[in-house]
Structure 1
Amino acid sequence: MQQPDTITDRFFRYVQIDTQSDPTSTANPSTEKQKNLSRLLVQELHQMGITDAELDPWGYVYATIPANSPKPNIPVICFCSHVDTSPDVTGANVRPLIHTAYDGRDLVLPDDPTQVIRLADHPDLAGQIGNDIITASGTTLLGADNKAGVAAIMTAAHRLMTTPEIQHGTIRILFTPDEEVGRGTEKVDMAKLGAHFGYTIDGESVGTLEDETFSADGVRITIQGVSTHPGFAKGKLENALKIAADLLARLPKDTLSPETTEGKEGFIHPGHLEGNQDRATLDFIIRDFTVAGLHEKEAYLQAQLDAVLKQYPHSTAELVVTEQYRNMKEVLDDYPAVVDNALEGIRRAGLNPERRSIRGGTDGSRLSFMGLPCPNIFAGEHAFHSRQEWVSVQDMEKAAEVIVNVAQVWEERTPAL
């Protein structure tokens, strides 16, 4: 009898499919090639006996593992990962390599020997001695973000479908496109998904659960200067680019920036500037763990802009704030069982759970505010968005084990009617 695929088999198969998303595209999904992996996942889910697995026109995969518990009132739980990889580094022609029984030595990636994964630079490798480390070959990213999560969900799904003694309620599976370009939940059909609670499988170190994220706003400042011929500009020209530069120069050098903050500290980050002497636009991202903190930073930015404009009396500027996402903890605090059951699932895998805050956002942030409280469980991903990305086989196996455990915990902790 043919042996079932291992999690390594699945992972190797998935990372060799190029699913890079494109932030400049207006299509849904942003790249059609993401569907190549999604179609394969639907096919594999059908082969497991999950008959309703489907790929919708927007690139989302929906599937159901039917309940096998006699309890009729178990909440429907969703497990979610994204299929796309980061636009930052190419995801084409990925050549995954396995470094068995890691012993602490430097991992030199053969297709570009300048790419060396060193223990000193990747301290989480200290916990991987004896484990099997998967990397790419040095010229591409690996795609563990988030194909490690995809492989874990698929492995757990196979286990649940083939092990009837593991009792659970209805499980929904969701694979999304375009998470890396901030559009991973844009076309999710929440009514179709029909889940009460969820978990993204898209975290880093083994045993971690992330139940708090940044809150995030975008700010666009549009500056209207006074343009005139530079040969006759004295006393008339107010250069919009110089106004923008003066604003940037007023931002503090030792605080309030990504490069000077950590932990629960937020920041103001200029990400894009374009224009000419007549008109310029500046795009910022504002991050904090509280909405009040966002508003403080936006008010600070407005004050600096007002101060600059005093030097340019005939110019104007407009600052527009766009809400991006909010801290999932605002929702999760109202549903403590979602986090408690995940922590128990991690413990049952023989791990010491660690709750973390994300200095960023996830699909789970948006899903939480769309009605699906959704913390983030580890998948073992490390060095995201880089050619030194790595994951261990054993961490992915633990992630799959935790998914199964969480399904069991929800069943056990749901009282019988």
Structure 2
Amino acid sequence: MGNYQNKDQKLQNRFLKYVQVDTQSDSNSESFPSTLKQNDLARILVDELLDIGVVDAHLDSLGYVYATIPATSDKKVPVICFCSHMDTSPDCSGENVKPIIHKNYNGEDLILPDDHLIVLRLGEHKDLKNQIGNDIITASGTTLLGADNKAGVAEIMEAATFLMQNPNIKHGVIKILFTPDEEIGRGVENVDLKKVGADFAYTVDGETLGSIEDETFSADGVNLIINGVSSHPGFAKGKMESAIKALADILSALPKDKLTPEATSGKEGFIHPVSFHGSAEQAEAQFIIRDFDDDLLKTHEETLENIVKDVLKLYPNSTYEFKVSEQYRNMKKVLDKYPQIIEYGIEAIKRAGITPKRQSIRGGTDGSRLSFMGLPCPNIFAGEHAFHGKQEWVSVQDMEKAVQTIINIACIWEEQSD
């Protein structure tokens, strides 16, 4: 079993380099990857992999980085892939990120220098209480940090470097996959699983130290169009049925104390409007529907459509279009068939000196879709916190533990093979 050490702060230096590359994805783009600047980081990663002797590392035309760490064992070991995404969220700027290392965190408020209104407080970031004495990395207050998911990228790269430099450590073939556009739901849309050639995978894109996640939301999108009746407003009495007002009534009729993100937690699902626009003649809204249970997912969609029907009783000459599109499904259905994936992940976390936390994700990962595409793939912690916003942070010490966990997983699969 390889004992990883972060000598000369190479891990954090690697991470600081990556977050300064703007890789924000764009949901309005029709290209793939959605932004060419994601390839700027991809090319850096390929060059670094080639430099450590990973001879097949390459960037394909769709923005994916593929690489193979050769086996050091004569055993027949399942091929394991480690995966992280290179893009950052469109929700907050990722341009000109200025990362800051707050050494030896002492529990006091972290006031970010470029905007003193952006403050990380112990009472608001619960996991900070476990970081006393650790080194915390944040951005400067005007951008997100990009720990989601460049912490995972840096950890996989650090583990790859360690394994390539220590061929005495026994492991099977290890595949590396870095994806674009995960933040806009397209992360594995065009991945070549034959090229990946793995039996099982782990995304490194989780939050709390020691977490391993084998369950996600099931997710659908709903596109709702209201077709109203337009008329000159000066002569509209008894004629006009404003699609904007009808849509506003629908949004107002949504539950407020349940079935909404701000009122749910744990295994509770929700209906969430994410955008809308329109005119008196036609108005359109997009919703995301989430639940861990597929049957309840359908129930929530029926609830939304019933609200639409009830509201439109007040607009008798208006019509609606209600289109449901599947986004991803709860990966637990797949992962339960391969319990060793989670068992080995839990053991790897224990060997890193951490208490494992098996939990669910109130969201999705590339692993959700990979699992249903034939590559079973849970999610392990990368240490990222408060992602998609200016308060995003990560602990260097948590990242070190993630690197050790990745190495441990590779070793355990070899140990358990014939």
TM-score by length of 2: 0.96
Aligned residue among 190, 211, 215 for 2:218: 215
SS class of match (1:13): helix
Give the aligned residue type for 1:15.
V
Counterpart of 1:117 in structure 2 is: 120
Counterpart of 2:150 in structure 1 is: 147
Tell whether 2:398 aligns with 1:373. no
Counterpart of 1:393 in structure 2 is: 396
Give the aligned residue type for 1:19.
T
Tell whether 2:386 aligns with 1:351. no
Counterpart of 2:323 in structure 1 is: 320
Tell whether 2:253 aligns with 1:250. yes
Counterpart of 1:337 in structure 2 is: 340
SS class of match (2:163): helix
Tell whether 2:105 aligns with 1:102. yes
SS class of match (2:322): strand
SS class of match (2:22): coil
Alignment of 1:54-73 (within 5 A): 54-71=58-75, 73=76
Aligned residue among 51, 56, 73 for 1:52: 56
Aligned residue among 16, 27, 31 for 1:27: 31
Counterpart of 2:46 in structure 1 is: 42
Alignment of 1:174-323 (within 5 A): 174-323=177-326
CA distance in 2, matches of 1:82, 1:46: 19
CA distance in 1, matches of 2:37, 2:198: 28
Tell whether 2:86 aligns with 1:83. yes
Aligned residue among 10, 14, 17 for 2:14: 10
Counterpart of 2:163 in structure 1 is: 160
TM-score by length of 1: 0.97
CA distance in 2, matches of 1:293, 1:327: 12
Where structure 1 has 5 or more consecutive residues not aligned to the other structure, the ranges are none
CA distance in 1, matches of 2:331, 2:398: 25
Deviation, structure 1 residue 4: 7.3
Where structure 2 has 5 or more consecutive residues not aligned to the other structure, the ranges are 1-6
CA distance in 2, matches of 1:273, 1:91: 25
Tell whether 2:379 aligns with 1:364. no
CA distance in 2, matches of 1:80, 1:189: 13
Counterpart of 2:133 in structure 1 is: 130
> What's the % identity of the aligned pairs?
63
Counterpart of 1:406 in structure 2 is: 409
Superposed CA deviations along residues 393-416 of structure 1, whole A, max 9, x for unmatched, are 1100100000000001111111x2
CA distance in 2, matches of 1:266, 1:139: 32
CA distance in 2, matches of 1:283, 1:137: 33
Superposed CA deviations along residues 283-311 of structure 1, whole A, max 9, x for unmatched, are 11100001101100111111111212222
Deviation, structure 1 residue 5: 6.6
CA distance in 2, matches of 1:4, 1:135: 20
CA distance in 2, matches of 1:312, 1:385: 39
Moved over 3 A (4+): none
